[in-house]
Amino acid sequence: MATVTYSKASRVYPGQERPAVNELDLEIGDGEFLVLVGPSGCGKSTSLRMLAGLEDVDAGSIYIDQRDVTHLPPKARDIAMVFQNYALYPHMTVYENMAFALKLRKTSKSEIDRRVKEAAGLLQLEEYLSRKPKALSGGQRQRVAMGRAIVREPQVFLMDEPLSNLDAKLRVQTRTQIASLQAKLGVTTVYVTHDQVEAMTMGHRVAVLLDGVLQQVDTPRALYDTPSNVFVAGFMGSPAMNIKTVPLNERGAEFAELNIPLTREQVEAARAQGGDGKVTVGFRPEDCELVSPTEGGMPVVVELVEDLGSDANVYGHAALGGNSERFVVRTDRRNMPNMGDTVFVKPVAGRSHVFHASTGSRI
């Protein structure tokens, strides 16, 4: 096991002015499961490949257990990587695929057999050891790729979107297996995904990237409850947070007929640094309630209702500053409105998130 440290690590692809990864500073603890998440092109896979030695580091350094590995070849880094496409050898059996890296190291046959069978037991692959990859399902191939990484007993596991080729049900099942397996093995793991639900449910901590820049790194709960800026607030959570930039008054933020109260400090911070008399306010779908017209809610015309069984997501639009703005509210399915209805939405007091209208930073 080992710690991993990115120290102002940057990667600039030839012919590009903007870095794919820009001065990444990140410390990953011994035995930690850290998830790198963000939209396509944000630099998360590049960051992982820099750690693996598959991409150059143009500036800064990367350390594994205080050892500078910035310019070492992949085989000298004591890492094992699980790829999106599994990268199994089609002509080899499951046993041979899992044993291959150990054979290259000239590990003894008895030790290879012990490690492969131990990993197969952990991953419930014992009955498939003599099969070839073409005879396996996607989920089984993914477990073989995991097994091949486990038998190497590396200091660090690297996983690049390993579940993206699986169907939705199998993805949920497999991410549970990966999280419990990592907890059992205790190996430092860096996991890349674009799926924020995956990130929230698997990682000890989650690092959110945008355009190669680290936006925030924290526990899933802290990211969800106290996002540091507008991007993190909108990216984490499904359905996404309702985020709108609205006029600012002495009492708070003006949402049509609804006024969301802000503290004096928030109003002052919103006016600083070119706030231009506006403020950005966000509230999550579950932090709203449907109220009667007399209770001062914001009128929203319902466009779609998603019945989720236990509750429902209500999508609609409201007139805000002369524009039609989309909103989503989560409600008890027993109170589901119909399409075309007008409902009155009121955020729960104290649950709103406030950001500077110009900088996007939390205030």
What DSSP string runs through 159-218? Answer: EESTTTTS-HHHHHHHHHHHHHHHHHH--EEEEEES-HHHHHHH-SEEEEEETTEEEEEE
| Topology match between the domains 4-234 and 242-356 | no
Q: In this prediction, what percent of the chain has a pLDDT beyond 90?
A: 78
> Of the given ranges (37-46, 74-83, 168-177), which has the lowest mean pLDDT?
168-177
CA angle 181, 183, 188 (to 5 degrees): 100
pTM over 0.95: no
Task: Give the helix/strand (H/E) hosting 283.
Answer: strand 278-283
Give me the percent of the chain exceeding a pLDDT of 70. 99
pLDDT at 168: 82
Average pLDDT over residues 148-166: 92
CA distance 244 to 246: 6
Q: Could you tell me whether strands 79-82 and 33-37 are parallel, antiparallel, or unpaired per DSSP bridges?
A: unpaired
Residue 44, C-beta contacts closer than 8 angstroms, at least 6 positions apart:
36, 37, 38, 192, 193, 194, 209
Which residues lie closer than 8 Å to 148 by C-beta, 6 or more apart?
A: 80, 88, 97, 98, 100, 101
pLDDT tens per residue, range 55-74:
999 999 999 999 999 999 99
The whole-number pLDDT of residue 275 equals 67
Place of tokens 């506006």: 278
3-state secondary structure of 61: strand
Q: What average pLDDT is seen over the chain?
A: 93
**CATH number, domain 4-234, options 3.40.50.150, 3.40.1280.10, 3.10.180.10, 3.40.50.300:** 3.40.50.300
Q: In the CATH hierarchy, which top-level class contains the domain 242-356?
A: mainly beta
Query: Rounded CA gap, 147 and 77, in Å?
Result: 19
Question: Which of 199, 249, 208 is closest to 229 using CA atoms?
Answer: 208
Residue 293 pLDDT grade (very low, low, confident, very high; cuts 50, 70, 90): confident
- Give the pLDDT confidence of 296-339 residue by residue, as tens digits: 889 999 999 999 888 999 999 999 888 899 999 999 888 889 99
Residues 38, 42, 48, 54: is their CA dihedral positive or negative? Answer: positive
Domain boundaries, the chain: 4-234, 242-356
Residue 294 has pLDDT above 90, yes or no: no
